Amino acid sequence: MPERITGHTELIGLMAYPIRHSLSPAMHNEAFAMLGLDYAYLAFEVENEQLKDAVQSIRALRMRGSNISMPNKTLVCEYLDKLSPAAQLVGAVNTIVNDEGVLTGHITDGTGFMRSLKEAGVDIIGKKMTIAGVGGAATAICIQGALDGVKEIAIYNIKDKFYENGEKTVEKIRNNTGSMAKLTDLADTEALRADIADSAIFINATGVGMKPLDQVSIITDEAMLRPDLVVADTVYNPIKTKMLAMAEACGCKTVNGLGMMLWQGAAAFELWTGKEMPVEYIKKAVYNM
C-alpha cells in the first residue's frame, strides 16, 4: 500500500472522553484510503476543561474539522462561529467544519439514528417512543424523530445537572413540531414501565452499557420488555450491551449503536470532503456488517 500521509495531508479529529474505544478512526481512514483522499482522522481524549483550547487548535492547526462526542456536544456550541439550523434547534454539535478559519457546528446523530432504524426494517413514524437520556445524542434523536413524524416521545433521565436539557427539548418539540413530548425522572420506574408498555421502541441514549458501565443495563427489570417491542442502544462498543442481551432473551427485536455510528459518520464525511462515504465497503471492512 502506498504512503497516505504527505506534507499536504489534512487532519480531522475526534474530541471526547473516553474515546480510545471508538471505531470512528478506522471508519473514516478506511474511507479516505478507499477514495484516495488526502486526509487523516485521529482521536483525542478531550474533556470539558480542555475543550475550548482544543477547538481553538482546529483553527491554529488548520484542521479540516472534528467530530465531537460525550461529554462535549453541548458545551462546544459556545466556542463555534456558526451552527447549522439542526444544531441550533438541538443545542448540540457532533461535527465541526473548518472553512478557512470559520468553524460551523453540525449535528448528524439524529439523522444517523433514524437511518439506522430504516436499515433495520423498523418504522416508528406515527408511533410512540420512550428514550433514556437528555444529552447531545438523545436530544438529536428526539428532535429528528419529532421532525420525521414520531407521534409521541417519553423522555427519561436522572435528576442531575443535565435534567434541564430534557425540559428544553420537550419545549422545542412542542413549539416546533406536531409531536407530543414529556420528561420524567428515571427514578420513577412505574411511569417508565407504563410508557414502555405502549411504546413501539425503547432507546438507551445514555453512556450506560459502555465502559466502564458495560456490566450495567438502564433497564433492570426484564418484565418491562415484551416481544413486539424494539429495543435500541446508541452504545456501539460493546456491540451487544447488557440491555440488548436482556432484550434478545425476551424476544425483542434489537438495534445496536453501530448503524447510528455508521450513518452519522457518513453524513459528517460528506460535510468535510464533499464526497459520499463508501458505506457498503465500510460496513464490511470495519463493522463486519
Q: Cα 16 to the chain's mean position, in Å? A: 13
The three cell numbers locating residue 32: 479516505
Q: What is the bridge-based pairing of β-strands 65-68 and 10-16?
A: parallel
d(CA 185, CA 183): 7
Whole-number Cα distances in Å, 40 to 66, 101, 113, 151, 279: 11, 19, 25, 41, 18
Q: What is the DSSP letter of 107?
A: -
Query: Does 73 participate in catalysis according to the annotation?
Result: yes
Whole-number Cα distances in Å, 229 to 3, 98, 111, 125: 48, 41, 22, 15
73, 128, 172, 242: the catalytic one is 73
Torsion, Cα 183 233 258 22, to 10 degrees, reads 80
| Burial tier of 168 (Cβ tally within 10 Å: 0-12, 13-18, 19+) | middle
Q: What are the catalytic residues?
A: 73
